[in-house]
Every structure is written in C-alpha cells, then in structure tokens.
Structure 1
Amino acid sequence: MILSELIDYGTLRLIWWVLLGVLLIGFAAMDGFDLGVGMLLPFVGRSDVERRVVINTVGPVWEGNQVWLILGGGAIFAAWPPLYAVSFSGFYLAMFLILAALIMRPVGFKYRSKREHKGWRSTWDWALFIGGFVPALIFGVAVGNVLQGVPFRFDEDMRIIYEGSFLGLLNPYALLCGLLSVMMLAMHGSAWLALKTSGVVSGRARRFGSIAALLTILFYLVAGAVLWTHIGGYRITSPIDPSGPSDPLLKTVVAEHGAWFVNYAAHPWLMIAPALGVLGPLGVFFALRSKAEILPLLIGKLAIFGIISSVGVSMFPFILPSSIDPKSSLTVWDSSSSHVTLFIMLVCTAIFLPLILAYTSWVYHVLWGKVDEAGVLDKNSHSY
C-alpha cells in the first residue's frame, strides 16, 4: 500500500484547508502585533527615547514572526497552485506594494539609529509606520475582494485569465475590510505595547488600543451587514466529489443572496467564530481599560482567530470565487495539488511545525520582560 493512501484525498484536502487557515491566523496573531506597533510608533512615542522603547519591544522578534508569512505563501504555492497563480498574478501590484512596505521595515530598524539627526530618525519612524499600515490595509482589501469574488476565469485550455485592475480592487467594501484589518492589528499592537512597556508609553498604547478595539467591532459588524444585504455569495449546485480531480470547470456554481451564511444555518456551532469576532475586541477593550497586562494580548489573539476564521467558515468550500465566471471558482475539492503531494507536505508539516512552535516559545521565554528607557540608553546594550 502507498503510504499516501492512509488518508483519503478528500480528507487531505480538508486538512490543508484547515492548515492554510492556521498559517494565516498565525501570521496575523504573531506578525500582526509587529505591524500594529509600527503603525502606532509615531503616536505612542513622543520623544526619541520613547520611540526607541517602542521599537525595541519588537526589535528582537519581528524577523522570526515573519516565518508565518513565508509558511502561508509556501502552503498556497504547494497545496493550492491555482490559488497561488490567480492571487499572485491578479493581485500583482497589490503584492508589490506589500513587499515594498515590508522591505521598509528592516531598513527602518537598521538605519534609524545610524544618525542622531532628528529629521533622519523621524523619516525612518514614518517608514516603519508605512511598513505596518500598508500591509495591514492591503491584506484586508484582498479579503474584501475575495468575499465579493475576483474577476478571473479559465479558458478552454485551462489558462487563467484575470480581467480586473488594481484600482478595481480598491472598491468601497474592500476598503472597509482594509480598515477593519488596520484597526484589528492596531488593537493587537497596542496590547503588545501594554505588556512590554510602562509609564506614559503604556498609557498611550492603552488609549489607542481601546479606540481601535471599538472601531474593530464597528467595522466588523458593518462589513457583515453589507455582506448580508448587498453582496450575497456563491453556491455549488452540482454534485460534489471530495476526492475528484482538480478541475474547477467540472462543477456548476451560482451567485446567490445569503450564500455566505448558509454554513451557519446548517451548523450553528460555527457561530463561535463571528461571536469571537465581536466579543474578542470587546474583551480587549475592557482588559486594556482595567490595566491588565498579558490578558489584552491573549484575548486579542482570540479576536483575530474569530474574525479571520469567520471568513473561511462563511466561504467554505470556496477558496477563491470568480465574479465573472462562477464555475471557474476555486474550491477545497477541485483546486489542490495531487494526493501524494498533499500527503508528503503533511508529513513535513507534522515534523517542522512543532519545531517552529518550540523555538518561537523559547525565544519569547528568553526575551520576556518589559522594555524601559534605562535599557535602551545603556551604551552596552544591543538595542536599536
């Protein structure tokens, strides 16, 4: 017996759909507070020393946190090739903006302290702000477009044709989702700063985080209401074979009002996801206001889990619907790599993901504790 046959094809596809969600949530929960801290840097730090304190809360960990972004992109490439082809080509300019903004982060961290000139350091502070704000916004915009459907189709030779434009991605609903993403990660960054700093920096972070938490709830509820009243969703009308060939054109799909809410009616327990999307930020708000330290960060991760997983749960089994040719939509059951490929990747993931979690936990254990002004001003320290 071939080892890959130990798990049937349909189950492997479902496992990789879950793992893709885990990796995306992991990126938002781990690297998300780095992006949030970058966005907050010019506002919670008023003096050069205060901004150095803010930067040094994420300085030792931000590079390691980006592992989750690499893992997510790699999983899309290897497990869902058509998804990778459509998203990384159709969203090319958006991806370029994200990468350009992310490149500004390491440059900002490394170059800021090279000169003591006020203008020089202020410039790199705003570069770090852009490095946090732009990815957070564009990732949210991408999710908003996915929920609406992306303008792509397959031709008779199974070539992917994208008929959209970059400006078309910046539609009102997508921008609303982008603002939701910005507020969610700003809230998470504030929770991190509340844990890692003290004094006036911590106080400002708590104030900004409280506002971001309330705006996260507002934007999430508005996005859900618009999704229900104006956008609708997609539904497969033909028989589904979970172990069938990876050929999106073999199915029939229709656009239908309320289709993104059908899974909740069929499985009410799935309401846990949107409930966390509302109650999580509310919990962060009260935890920040009560001067709790680690609690806002932990609750913030639950909020991120709820908001992102509610998108996946709503769309299942769709991964990337097509707005111009619904039958070209990519689903869990018809857009994956081969049975053997998914199995080999699963074995590798079972080996290496626990290692990543172990060394990440060890790093955070070693670097536990607050960052203060005395520490960053110490001439013998390795702070930025």
Structure 2
Amino acid sequence: MLLDYEILKLAWWVLVGVLLIGFAITDGMDMGVGNLLPFLGKTDTERRIIINTVGPHWEGNQVWFITAGGAIFAAWPAVYAAAFSGFYLAMLLVLFALFFRPVGFDYRSKIESTKWRNAWDWGIFAGGFIPALIFGVAFGNLLQGVPFHLDEFLRVTYDATFIWALIPLLNPFAILAGLISVAMLTGHGATWLQMRADESIAARARQTGAILGVTTALLFALAGLWIRIGNFDYFVIVSQPPLDALPNPLTKEVAMQAGALFNIYSSHPFAIAAPLVGIAGPLLMAAMSYLGRGGFAFFFSALGMTGIISTAGLSMFPFIMPSSSDMTSSLTIWDASSSHLTLTVMFWAAVIFMPIVLGYTIWCYARMWGRITVEEIDARSHSAY
C-alpha cells in the first residue's frame, strides 16, 4: 500500500531522528563509559568492571549507528552523498577512532602488562571521545551551513580543498556543539555505571554524573543564547514546488533570515518542549546522581539527550543539510528524499522490524542485568574482558 508521498517524507524525517536518538542513548552510553574508563577505574580490576558493564551490549548498540547510516543512504541519498563528501576527513577520523574500541576490548586482557593494558584503556577512551566530539562538531556545522553545491545533473561538489576540508569545520560554535556532545554522552555513561558497576566505582560515577549533568545543561543553554544574542542568519524557503513533488533541490528558492533558527518555535509553540527538556533532563540527571538514584539519573539523561537532538532537528526543519555557498542547493526533507516506492517499502520494513529489534534488545538487557562486582571479576580472571 502506497502512503501519501508528503506524509512519507515527513515520517522518514521523524524515523531518522528516532534512529539517531536511539544511537545516542545506546552506543552513546558505551562511548561515555569508555571516556570514563581511565579516570574512574583506579585499578586493573576496577577497569575490567567498567568494561564488563558494556561488554555484552556494545556490539549490538552499534547497530543503531549502522542502521541510521543505512536509513540516511536509502531515504536521503543526496544527503548521504553530500555528507560523505563534505565531512569525508571527519568521518574517516571517526572510523579510525572507532577501531580502537573493539580491538581494545578484545586485546587489553591478552597480556598481563600494566603498560599494555593502560595503552589499550586510552585507546578505548579515544574510541569514545573522538567520535562524540566530531558528531557534535558536525551538528554545529549543519546549524551554520556546509559549503557545497549541486550542478545541473544534481552531482554534489564540496567547495573546499581536500587538504583543508577539516579546518573550516573547527569553528568556535561547532566546537561548543562538540563539547555539548562530549559532556552529554560522558554523563550518560556515568549514569550507566551508577547502576551496573561495583559500589566503589558507582560512587565516583555519581559525583561525575552530577557535574556533567550541570555542565551539559549550561553548555546547551549557552549555545541557545549564542544563537539568540548573535542573531544567527539561517536559511528559509521563499518558494518551492508542492511538497509531494518529485525530488529536485534546484527547483526551490532559498534566502537567509536573521534568527530563523527560532522560527519553528513561533509557528509551532509546542516545539519549545524540546529545548526545555534538553535543559531540564541533564539538570534532573545531576540531581538524581547526587541523590544516588541511578535508574532515574539514566532515564533523565536519555530524556535530556532526546530533547537536545530534537532541538537541533526542529530548529533546522525542513532543512537537513543547508548549503552556505549555494543556498539553492540546500537539501530539505521535501527535495532530498528517495522515490515514493522506496520510502513506502522502507516504512513498512521499519514498522515490522523495529519492534522486533527493540524487544530483543530489551530482553538482552533484562537477562544480563546486575551489578558487576570485584568478586565476580576476580573469579573469572581469564575472561575476555
């Protein structure tokens, strides 16, 4: 059954957002734990405890990342092409950093050497910190526009040389967005350790979670003030074909407007819930961490992440990847989508299989639930982690 094309375009904007939030909550938790590994683990046994809290789940959690990338490729092929052109070096850096995580998990315990294990612990840290920072920097650049253009055949060209392609991405606002991402994911990892790690580690994780919750809220609020006070120019659509028309980004007219990132909140007041949750979630996470309520801290951390990511998506709507060098080439949910049939097939596949994946994931967490203790780790000294 073919659903309305306009509704499908909007539905896939929501579904891709859900996948990105799912990735942040699950695999972001693993990254956050990796970021804390060299600091909260004072002994080799404590570091093994930290690793074992995510050991059974991290590979499954990465599926959210792979699925989100696949969904972007299938639902928005033009966005996929432009992103992998413009962010090529950044994505390679993410990929190389992510190599350290599986190798670190599998190889750190192969040799009983302090130097060997410490080196892999810092590799696991790099595998969490670098992707978290770059993902935030990427979002920060999307909020400002990326220099690319489309030719008459809709081929993407990135308007920067290969050597210097990474430098313009490291602008002050993008770095702030990267710091928000690092604080958010690391704090989320701290809430996980509060529930799963031995009490000595959990106590340190509570202090860390309280600090990072407040830090995330303050940095997120600072970014909002920066945009408001700085009166950021953003992209607005002046004219475009019908929303259910065949995709062609070059058939619309785009202009810049001061403060346009806040337009969604005046036209749809309910959207203000996203930034409010983005601030309240980390603050409540900090409060629950301070009170020793790890489960509530994890919930409010996930809620805050949902609010922060939703704020970015809603503020940019309907743009997915705006172009700072050729505004007409900017990609939106209306003109960067795949065909009607492709979106329909993918939609029904998501409706059928996502509940199955979610159910299996919840079952896995339930079956492997429990606090990892020093005694348990000492009892299996020859385990993989």
User: TM-score normalized by structure 1?
Assistant: 0.97
| Aligned match of 1:201 | 201
SS at match of 1:40: helix
- For each residue in 1:101-154, what CA deviation from the matched residue of structure 2 results, as whole angstroms up to 9, or x when unmatched? 111100000000001100000000000000000000000000000000000111
| Aligned match of 2:258 | 257
| Aligned match of 1:151 | 147
Q: What is the root-mean-square deviation in Å for CA atoms of aligned residues? A: 1.1
| Aligned match of 1:105 | 101
| Aligned match of 1:46 | 42
Deviation, structure 1 residue 172 = 0.9
- Aligned: 1:139 with 2:140: no
- Aligned: 1:14 with 2:7: no
| Aligned match of 1:374 | 375
SS at match of 1:204: helix
Does structure 1 retain, via aligned residues, the 8 Å contact 2:21–2:305?
yes
| Aligned match of 1:235 | 236
Aligned AA (1:61): H
Gaps of 5+ in 2: none
- For each residue in 1:19-56, what CA deviation from the matched residue of structure 2 results, as whole angstroms up to 9, or x when unmatched? 00000000001111100000000000011111111110
Does structure 1 retain, via aligned residues, the 8 Å contact 2:41–2:201?
yes
| Aligned match of 2:276 | 275
SS at match of 1:271: helix
| Aligned match of 2:184 | 184
- For each residue in 1:45-97, what CA deviation from the matched residue of structure 2 results, as whole angstroms up to 9, or x when unmatched? 01111111111000010000001001100000000000000001211110011
Deviation, structure 1 residue 380 = 7.5
CA distance in 2 between partners of 1:380 and 1:129 (Å): 23
Deviation, structure 1 residue 207 = 1.2
| Aligned match of 1:300 | 301
| Aligned match of 2:20 | 24
Deviation, structure 1 residue 293 = 2.2
| Aligned match of 1:357 | 358
CA distance in 1 between partners of 2:382 and 2:364 (Å): 18
Aligned AA (1:283): L
Choose the corresponding residue for 2:77, options 77, 81, 86: 81
Does structure 2 retain, via aligned residues, the 8 Å contact 1:228–1:257?
no
Does structure 2 retain, via aligned residues, the 8 Å contact 1:187–1:300?
yes
Does structure 2 retain, via aligned residues, the 8 Å contact 1:56–1:383?
no
- Aligned: 1:123 with 2:124: no
CA distance in 1 between partners of 2:117 and 2:382 (Å): 19
CA distance in 2 between partners of 1:239 and 1:343 (Å): 23
Does structure 2 retain, via aligned residues, the 8 Å contact 1:376–1:383?
no
- Sequence identity of aligned pairs in percent? 50
Deviation, structure 1 residue 233 = 1.2
User: TM-score normalized by structure 2?
Assistant: 0.97
Aligned AA (1:374): E
Structure 2 vs 1, CA of residues 168 and 249 (structure 1 numbering), >3 Å: closer, same or farther?
Answer: same
SS at match of 2:108: helix
CA distance in 1 between partners of 2:383 and 2:363 (Å): 20
SS at match of 2:370: coil
CA distance in 2 between partners of 1:150 and 1:89 (Å): 11
Aligned AA (1:186): T
| Aligned match of 2:169 | 169
- For each residue in 1:303-356, what CA deviation from the matched residue of structure 2 results, as whole angstroms up to 9, or x when unmatched? 000000001111111111111111110001101000000000111111111111
Gaps of 5+ in 1: none
